[in-house]
Amino acid sequence: MSIREVKPNAAADSLWVAFRRIFTTPATAPAVFVACLTMAIPQLGGFNTLMYYSSTLFAIVGFNKATAVGITVSATNFVFSIVNLVLVDKFGRRRLLTVTVLGMSICLMIAAIASNFIPIDTNTLKLKERAVVGWPGILVLVMIIAYVGFYSTGVATIAWIGTELIPLEVRALGTMLNTVTCWGSNIIIASIFLSMMK
């Protein structure tokens, strides 16, 4: 479809007609669903929660300089976002997304297992008296940094370019639904995270 064909169609369609087309056209509905699902993965995977509460989380695990650790996590995010620029066209979006989501999952599983060995008082959410960080805390830190690397290399940017799947005549509304998915799931996860910790 050319730009000349899109302009009259866009002008003639009402908002309701465009919304109906998104959900009833066989080629459009799956594309919007996949784009929104790809956008929900980073939110439900906990990345934004990690960024919001990284200093708090690393202080709980026992790192005295939790802010420095938070800065390290942010720097990792920045560096691996640049890595994505090099890899996305070379390996393709699907392969990069598959590999990085698998890497994210493995890193989070290892971090969850290692965190069970950290002596945390569940009432105060602090290290128990005279406890030291030790190997579990260091492993959690390494796995979180690796998780951020996988996230930034794949899901972080591919989620936003997933709207390329949506046909041009409804791409604006599809992008809007994609963004609503992003911030809606982000609000849900960010608002329930602290209560889940307790």
Amino acid 80: pLDDT: 95
The alpha carbon dihedral of 97, 98, 100, 101 has a sign of positive
Q: Which region holds residue 167: left if phi is over 0, alpha if psi is between -120 and 50, else beta?
A: beta
User: Environment class of residue 52 by beta-carbon count within 10 Å: exposed (0-12), middle (13-18) or buried (19+)?
Assistant: middle
- Name the domain count of the chain: 1
Q: What is the CATH number of the domain that holds 154?
A: 1.20.1250.20
- Report residues of the chain scoring pLDDT below 50: none
The range of the structural domain enclosing residue 138 comes to 3-197
**Residues 30-77: pLDDT tens digits?**
999 999 999 998 888 888 888 877 777 777 777 777 678 778 888 999
Strand-pair category, 126-127 with 120-121: antiparallel
Residue 128 is given by DSSP the state: P
Amino acid 190: pLDDT: 80
Does residue 25 sit in helix, strand or coil?
coil
Amino acid 148: pLDDT: 94
Amino acid 176: pLDDT: 92
